[in-house]
A and B are shown apart, each in its own frame.
Chain A
Amino acid sequence: MIRPTFLSFETAKRALNVSQAGLDTVGHNIANVNTKGYTRQRVDQVSIHSNYQSKYQIFGSRGQNAGQGADIVGISQIRDPYLDTRYRNEAATYGELSVKNAGFTDLEKVLDEIKTNGVVSQLQDFINQLTKYQKEADSAEYATVVRNSAAQLTQVLNKTASELAGVSEQHLYDLKVSVLDLNSILERIAYLNNQIRETNMYGNPANEMNDERNLLIDQLSEYLPIRVTRTPEKISEDITIERVSIQLVDSSKVPIQAFDLVDNHKFNKFAVGESESGQLTFSLLDGISGFPIYEDISGNINGGGIKGYLDILNGKGDFAGMGENSFKGVPYYQKALDTFAQTFASLMNETNSISVDEAKGKAYIQPYPNKNLFVAVDGSGTITAANITISEEWMAEASFLTTTKQDPSDPKLVTDENGNPKYDDNGNPVYVTTANSDNLLRFISILTESNRSFLAVNGDGREFALFKGSMEEQLTSIQSTLGLDKKLNESLLDASETVISGYSDQRDAISAVSIDEEAINMMTYQNYYNAAARYMTALDEALNTIINGMGVVGR
């Protein structure tokens, strides 16, 4: 069998192609070294054997003809899907912890009093004014000082309550923005699924779209704990394409109930709502029509940034009833502060409302209605930190604060040395305010009593003791609970950051571009190209010899 004349030209031509493709790929990799989510690509080369049409040609050549050079099978990505899964699992934890960290930091700014003066120092001021008032129990001016201190205390409580509500609002807004982002990610993944399948059907590996999809799935995994399933579908002899579906799972990886998020081109989306009891609901809707599939799956989410938001916004801590969120989130701190306000107001009102039962011979405490010092500003029965205020009667008359149990129904006229009655600025006669301060002592001992039980009602309607200690200690315990939770969360967040960084490093080890490597590849392909070009020249010269140099003897 004669060797075809132009046989090797094809080889040279193919070599030039391949080396140019290699250079192109090197250039592509270098250009994308900083692109987020980019996976390095490499050229898949195979060598080509001689192509014979009939069995005569096969047997006739007796293996004397060389191969036909190299050809590109494809340009492929290098990626480890198992590392991806592990990265995404950790990302869910990281997402949850970092959202909670932001929540705790905001709460700390409102409640912490190490550096600022808040409710605790105002309560201390009030107690001190009461202590000094004991020495001045007959002074009308000092009664005003005490009332002003109490008014400031209610104002600080109101302000703190409104700031806590502000924290809740801010995080709700962040959650809604996150849900918008989440929904758009799901939609784009579904769209890419479709595009990639179509591209794959035409034999194109769609590397860049794959990168984009993987990046989106990484972002998704920070919001929710997910599981990605790739099912191969064979659509013809040579072509197998993937069917990608993503599900929301229980982060313990045992799918008690999994919710479909994306399946090929179909996708679902989420919405945040509010139930009648004021709890946030997280519902799953159909992606196109928007019809709800599940009204509230907030109880089924146990990882990811979304869980962080739901815990911060719904978490009632010790106040939670059955089926309610028992994380110590903003509602817990709101209710703890409310418990303080209620206990404080009811104790003060009770202590203020005494009168003397002379008939029994000795002084006796008898609850005397309507001598309330503190009331709810909206007139409702329950006092909270947001609505506590000074009562109208106390506002009108500073001496409404009962300093002594001595019978107020037998007042003595204030007279001067000659027995003439004294008149105040409005021309009214002034009555004796005795200097007796026994009730003030009772106020103080009640406010500083160290074994008080702070009772509250939880979500099931059951009463429980939130805290046992003095009033100031209860306020301090709110801050120390927050401090401990935040510190623990910070340590966990640090650890998670380290783990996720480790996974990133491992992923990069396989998939990322190393400039040094690309430089070497570039030199290789460049030399390859030069060699192929030289070879082409050699073939050309050989042919030249045959065409122009043979058979000219004697011419």
Chain B
Amino acid sequence: MRITNNSVVRNYNKTLDYNRNLLNNYSNQIISGRKFNTMSEDTASGVRAMQVRRNLSRIEAYIDNAKASKSQLTSAETTMMQISNLTKNVSEKYIQAINGTNGEQERDIIATELEKLQEELLTLSNARFSDRYLFGGTNTVSAPFTTDNQGNLYYNGVDVRELYAGHPLMEDSAYMDVGLGILFTDPDDPTQVNPNTAYQHTMVGAQFLGTGPDNLYLVLGEMISSLRSETFDPDKAGSILDRFQAASNNVNVVMTKLGSDSQYLEFTINRLEDEKLNLYERQTQLEAADPEEAIMNFKMQEYVYNAALQMGQRLLQPTLFNFID
């Protein structure tokens, strides 16, 4: 085939352009640290990378939620400790009061102390953590426990004597997604989340204070009135004390539950953090350019490009005219 100047120049240009493109690509890999910059360069990896990004962003949110819950839980546990100590204090003082050697004056003094403790119990039950009431169930903006002048206790506006185990206010709970895969499986109520697939982050105060007439606050009220009454009946006082101690057991039960919840959150946070690390590793595998490989490729390509440039000099210049006299 006859080779002409035009075809030599054209082919040289084309090959040089190809080499330059390759050189540019490799240097981009080194500078940006990415293996590919668009979906079209590597679609399979691109789709997987988008999936990894999706999972990563979701996990950050779960970890955030779980950590926030954990702090709240810690605060609740502290409060419960204080309530537990308070109930012990009350029991001791009452036992002291039942002790027969006390007269009416001593009983009055103890009654006053018990009144103070009752107020404190109310305050603790309305404890807050960063502007939220901890023990009101889904009501976190107003104090869950309120009283009137007659010594009645109201939980979220309902008299605690009317509350019982299955009452809607007792079941009142808010759930949070921590990455277990939320499901709505109730056939009667498609808006009810399956409690096994979410984390319940609210606490109902009436559960540890008690419902019905055996509510801790109310029994404490009975203790106070029994001390203040004209006739003090030690036997009746004894049965009130028994009821109080039985009721204060609730506090311990709830405390244990809080403890195991705390462990569960700790476990969840660790699991999520591990998953996050795995995802970061996977992302690096998919999207990051291996620096050693990229630099080596670049060097090789640079050598090829330089060789092509030098050849051009030899290819394009001389013609027969250079050699004719």
Contacts and interface: CB of A to CB of B under 8 A. Distances in A.
Interface of A: 33-34, 104, 108, 112-115, 120-121, 124-125, 127-128, 131-132, 134-135, 137-138, 354, 362-365, 404-406, 412-417, 419, 430, 432-439, 441-442, 444-445, 472, 476, 479-480, 482-484, 486-487, 490, 497, 501, 504-506, 508-510, 512-516, 519-520, 523
B43 A134 contact: no
Most buried by A among B43, B65, B287: B43
Contacts of A486: 38-40
Contact of A112 (B39, B60, B143): B39
Contact of B43 (A34, A404, A484): A484
A56 to B, nearest CB: 51
A108 to B, nearest CB: 6
Interface of B: 1-7, 10-11, 14, 34, 36-41, 43, 46-47, 49-51, 53-54, 57-58, 60-62, 64-65, 68-69, 126, 132, 138-143, 146, 157, 172-177, 182-184, 188-193, 198, 201-202, 287, 319-321, 324
Given A138-B140, A362-B188, A445-B183, 13 more contacts: A113-B50, A114-B46, A124-B57, A127-B61, A131-B58, A132-B64, A134-B177, A483-B38, A509-B1, A510-B2, A512-B7, A514-B5, A515-B320
Contacts of B60: 128
B10 A439 contact: no
Q: Is the interface of A mostly helix, strand, loop or mixed?
A: helix
A444 B177 contact: yes
Contacts of A419: 146
A483 B39 contact: yes
Given A487-B40, A513-B4, A438 B140 contact: no
Contact of A506 (B1, B139, B193): B1
B28 to A, nearest CB: 11
Nearest to B198: A441
Contacts of B287: 114
A363 B43 contact: no
A512 B4 contact: yes
Contacts of B64: 132
A285 B198 CA distance: 69
A441 B177 contact: yes
B119 to A, nearest CB: 12
Most buried by A among B2, B202, B321: B2
A195 B2 CA distance: 32
A104 B40 contact: yes
A286 B46 CA distance: 50
Nearest to A356: B191
Contacts of B1: 505-506, 509
Contacts of A104: 40
B324 to A, nearest CB: 6
16 contacts: A33-B6, A112-B38, A120-B50, A128-B61, A362-B188, A414-B141, A417-B143, A434-B174, A438-B193, A497-B14, A510-B2, A512-B5, A514-B5, A515-B319, A516-B320, A519-B319
Nearest to B320: A519
B139 A487 contact: no
Ranked 10 nearest A-B pairs via Cβ: A483-B39, A519-B320, A512-B4, A436-B138, A486-B40, A131-B61, A483-B40, A128-B61, A509-B2, A483-B43
B142 A414 contact: yes
Contacts of A413: 142
A480 B11 contact: no
B174 A438 contact: yes
Contacts of B139: 412, 432, 434-435
B176 A134 contact: yes
Nearest to A140: B141
Nearest to B143: A417
Contacts of B175: 134, 437-438, 441
A96 B10 CA distance: 22
A128 B58 contact: yes
Contact of A445 (B6, B7, B49, B182): B182
A450 to B, nearest CB: 11
A114 B38 contact: yes
A108 B38 contact: yes
A362 B189 contact: yes
Contacts of B69: 135
B10 A480 contact: no
A354 B142 contact: no
B39 A127 contact: no
A115 B41 CA distance: 12
A126 to B, nearest CB: 11
B142 A523 contact: no
Contacts of B50: 113, 120, 472, 476, 479
Most buried by B among A137, A486, A514: A514
A362 B69 CA distance: 29
A33 B176 CA distance: 78
